[in-house]
Structure 1
Amino acid sequence: CFCSVIGDVRGRGLMLGVELVTDRTEKTPAKAETAVLFEKLKDLGVLVGKGGLHGNVFRIKPPMCFSKDDADFLVDAMDYAMSGF
């Protein structure tokens, strides 16, 4: 299950941060995995930012016109991109 690489989801309003880790207990940053997923999402047409002290946090900042269909596309793309983990 890809959810094992998600260490934390945080944010306020439309701005979200999804932190990726290799070990959920130790919160070990998943630097390499984040870089791979970042490129996979870009190839799928999803542009997210990358941040955090270790570069392992996806920054999702959609525009105000973000619709439910857009949200469904984002979730499906993330699910597909993370399916190899």
Structure 2
Amino acid sequence: MKTLGKIHLLGGEELRHIPGPSPHYVSVPQTLEIGKKIGLKVPSRIKIIAVEAKNMYNLGEGLSKEMTKAIPAIVKEVKKILKSK
């Protein structure tokens, strides 16, 4: 069961195994490698903060009422993550 607003911190191996939506998809590690190869300054490590949605298959405008209500707790958790790094 999904938990609306649950925070997921992704890095390293988790980012290598995210399937792409098409053959044209470029993963985060691939993007960083391309940046290095063309001489751009890229971070030595990266973490992605992902927020779990109730339904990610139906797109619409704005946030659901449940997600809007969860925003303060999400912001608080993200701030804790950022301060701990």
Length-normalised TM-score, structure 1: 0.30
Structure having the higher strand fraction is: 1
Q: Which structure's CA Rg is the greater one?
A: 2
Higher relative contact order (CA 8 A, sep 6+): 2
